[in-house]
Structure 1
Amino acid sequence: MSAQAEERGIEAGEEWGAAETPLTFQRPVPRRLVHRASMAEVFVTGAVPTGEGRFLVGAQWPRDHALYHPDQHRLSDPLLFAETIRQALVYLAHRYYAVPLSYRFIGGDLDFDIARPELLRVGGAPVSVVLDAAGTWTRQHLSQRYDMRLDVVLTVDGERCGRGSLSVLAVDERRYGLLRRGRTSPVPPGAFGRADASRPAPGGIDPAVVGRLRTKDVVLEPGVGDGAWRMNFDLDHAILFDHPTDHLPLMALLEGFRQIGHLEMRGGTSSPDGCHHALLGASVECLSFGELDEATDLFVRERVRGPVPGSRRLVVEAVQAGRPIAGAVMTWGLTEGADTART
């Protein structure tokens, strides 16, 4: 394989835009094409072009996962959908649009809605999903940057059950350095994670109250005031920090927002028998880089009733040194347990 082909992520014998075999969900795509270090964290299994800027993207979600595990009623973790959208955009960018592997991807806006969560219930086999994806890819030749947006419809066994979108900016290393103003050195695991005695303990939050199974997956500690929390992330976390990075990843921020939602739902209205609250959608806006060496405070700015009975919307914000770095609007709704779900 030539150095140029390697830089662009081309497999031996492949050409850009070459037709792939039909979606079979037999194996994940190469991990470097979705910016993952661990093979276990690759969910996308391939893509098939269906028209100008349109693709069917296959993915397989595990029956169980250390962080993105099913809930107590066996519903797939909604953040699997968010992560699959991210991986799909990155994969298509490298595989079909010749975006070099050395380019840095900067998250913009992410949103997703799950209309029929019961279709994502985990059974005796991994959940195979398809994203009907439409992409907009603009290359600015003078600045060597790519502006990209991917809109997807989520289907399972041919049935539509959700939608989502993601926009990113991709730039070369020099321009990334200008944007980061010299703060481009990846922070290695263990640099100032929870193992460092100089950082506070996680705050004694029971993992169950934030929808997690393990103490190491709790990313919150109490803040000051009503609806105030602080992120206490661990750079040794094998999933949220799959590889060294110089800023707070979008999916780590989203995990913090989601955990706040679990806390809010526990203190909200009671659920009817056989039902529970689940995250059904989120719209996240990234405003600036989140620095790893600055405190990240999370605030619940608004609590309102959702569009259907039993649903609630939460407006949350992430702040560093008094400046907002991201915000999100989350929708939580009632879903039926496995024993009461209609067939």
Structure 2
Amino acid sequence: MSLMNPDPAARAAVGTIGRGAGGTSPSSGALPHLTTTVPCEFVRRSSMAEVFLTSCRRASETRFTLTGQWPRAHAFFNGPGGQHDPLQAAETIKQVALYLAHAELGVSLGHHFVPCDLSFTSDPDELAIGAVPSDLSIEADCVDLVRKGSRLVEFGLSITIRRNDRALATGTVRFVCVSPGAYHRLRGPAPESSPTQPAHQPSEVAPSAFGRGLRRDVVLASSDHPGRWRLNPDPDHPVLFDIGDDHIPPMVLMEAARQATYGLLVSDRSLTLTAMSTEFHSYAEFGRPCWIEAAPVLVQHSDTMSVLVTGRQDGRRVFGSHVSGTVTRC
């Protein structure tokens, strides 16, 4: 299948990135190992600090090799015990998909991406933070591209993230591409807020109960039922709400799934996330209660944990996530 060329603006931006990342400049001579990020707009981030991709090269008609970098410290993605946060792999997988859609698969800027599913598995033994930022090599294979005429309407990716030729994480993702006009018709007028949804207040529960160190990073509030919480992210959070979405972003829902899994633990236990498989069914709207429920799944070993997390709003299922991790004593 012949892939559509990127629009002129995307092509110009990608060309500039390739020359900079290549390390040479006609006017200044050799400048080895220059590094820059891909355009923020291509990965739907407003802050350059939140862009984890640095370059891309087409290996075949449907296969791409990208590079990226994870910082040694991050304002939100901060894993336990001097390790990178496993959920940072999910954010990187999402960024790869959005970047390739714009830069290589012909989806114009301004289009919207409706997530279908995102899954990843990470290796905790490979996530140690070193003395320098982690330079990544990323392989992405396009699968099941669906087109209407020349327009891409749905696509999936299979992705492997490596550091020093060792796999840190693997994953898959699928998006539906929606034009601005179709998105406006899909979303309609902004929904009215429900008077039963209180304004955001920091969680009254200690952040450590959800595996977080800062109260502003907690996205759940307690309820009257064990294993059930109200989705309660801070809409002014500089990372979780980096751009102006008209709904709660998928990464917030995935963080809610992780925190709900952590919330099932007894106080002297800690969770290291190793895998998450999430299906998205509908938008999570602002202004109306969204309830997060977590139920353990039968596992074979006492040091592992497998949990099914479900989000519901207005009686409909918003997402379902199967979360797995290892449990250790604090």
TM-score by length of 1: 0.83
For the 8 Å contact 1:240–1:251, the answer to whether it is kept is: yes
For 1:66, the aligned partner's letter is A
Give 1:238 deviation, angstroms.
Answer: 0.9
Q: Counterpart of 1:178 in 2: which secondary structure?
A: helix
**Where do residues 1-343 of structure 1 align in structure 2 (5 Å cutoff)?**
5-6=8-9, 9-11=10-12, 14=15, 21=22, 26-71=35-80, 73-114=81-122, 116-136=123-143, 138-141=145-148, 144=151, 146-183=153-190, 199=199, 201-266=201-266, 277-300=271-294, 302-306=295-299, 310-334=303-327
User: Which residue in the other structure is 1:341 paired with?
Assistant: none
Kindly provide the amino acid, as one letter, of the partner of residue 220 in structure 1: L
- Given that 1:63 and 1:70 are in contact with CA atoms closer than 8 Å, whether structure 2 keeps it comes out as no
Counterpart-to-counterpart distance in 1, 2:148 and 2:258: 38
> Alignment identity in percent?
29
Tell me the alpha carbon deviations over residues 271-320 of structure 1, each in whole angstroms, 9 at most, x when there is no partner. Answer: 6xxxx5300000000001111121111001x3124355511100010000
Shift of 1:138: 2.9
Q: Aligned-pair distance for 1:132? A: 1.5
**What letter is aligned with 1:226?**
P
Q: What's the secondary structure of 2:224's corresponding residue? A: coil
Question: 1:162: Cα distance to partner?
Answer: 2.5
1:266 Cα deviation (Å)? 3.5
What is the root-mean-square deviation in Å for CA atoms of aligned residues?
A: 2.9
Unpaired segments ≥5 residues, structure 2: 1-6, 24-32
Seen in structure 2, the aligned counterparts of structure 1 residues 46 and 214 have a Cα distance that, compared at 3 Å, is same
For 1:204-234, what per-residue CA distance to the aligned partner results, in whole angstroms no more than 9, with x for missing partners? 1212222222111111111231211001112
Report the CA distance shift for 1:28/1:200 in structure 2 as closer, same or farther (over 3 A).
closer
| Matched residue SS, 1:74 | coil
The CA distance in 1 between the partners of 2:203 and 2:114, in whole Å, is 31
Q: Please, what TM-score do these two structures have when normalized by structure 2? A: 0.86
How many aligned positions are there? 312
Per-residue CA deviations over 1:126-157 (Å, capped at 9, x if unaligned) read 11222221013635336955201111122221
Counterparts of 1:67 and 1:162, CA distance in 2? 19
In structure 2, the CA distance between the partners of 1:130 and 1:308, relative to structure 1 (3 Å rule), is: farther
Q: Which runs of 5+ in 1 are unaligned?
A: 338-343
Conserved? CA contact 2:42–2:109, under 8 Å: yes
- Write the distance in 1 (CA, Å) between the matches of 2:161 and 2:53: 13
